[in-house]
Amino acid sequence: MDLLNNMEPITLSQAQQMVDEWIKTFGVRYFSELTNMAILTEEVGELARIIARTYGEQSFKPEDKRNLGEEMADVLWVLICLANQTGVDLTTEFKKTIEKKTKRDKDRHQSNKKLM
């Protein structure tokens, strides 16, 4: 995986390719979509635990992992697995989401007194 040795930023498309290569090289095959959805839920829960303990009122337990970036990357990994196995091009879909949000919300947040 030559992309791992390159320090340049990685595009969503490259990330999807890297995950696919890793699965085919080391992972034998993708877990089922249902299994990956359960794993994604678990990873989001781990991310939520760190957020709650870092920015909320809860305190860390001695055994708690504390790496926010690692947990975000774990969520991204499983999301990319789901995208790959369901044929979703995340670059295309992300662009559509930006367009949708811009069209729908371009003035909404600027006029929200709660955000001022």
Q: What percent of the chain has pLDDT over 90?
A: 76
pLDDT (average), residues 11-34: 97
Cα–Cα dist 2/113, whole Å: 49
Question: What is the reported pLDDT for 46?
Answer: 94
Phi, psi (rounded to 5 degrees) for 47: -65, -45
pLDDT (average), residues 86-92: 98
Cα–Cα dist 82/40, whole Å: 9
Residue 80 · residue 15 · CB < 8 Å? yes
Question: What is the reported pLDDT for 2?
Answer: 59
Domain ranges of the chain: 10-89
pLDDT (average), residues 17-26: 97
Fold type of domain 10-89: Helix Hairpins (1.10.287)
pTM of the model: 0.88
Question: What is the reported pLDDT for 57?
Answer: 94
Where residue 7 falls among pLDDT bands split at 50, 70, 90? confident
Residue 116 has pLDDT above 70, yes or no: yes
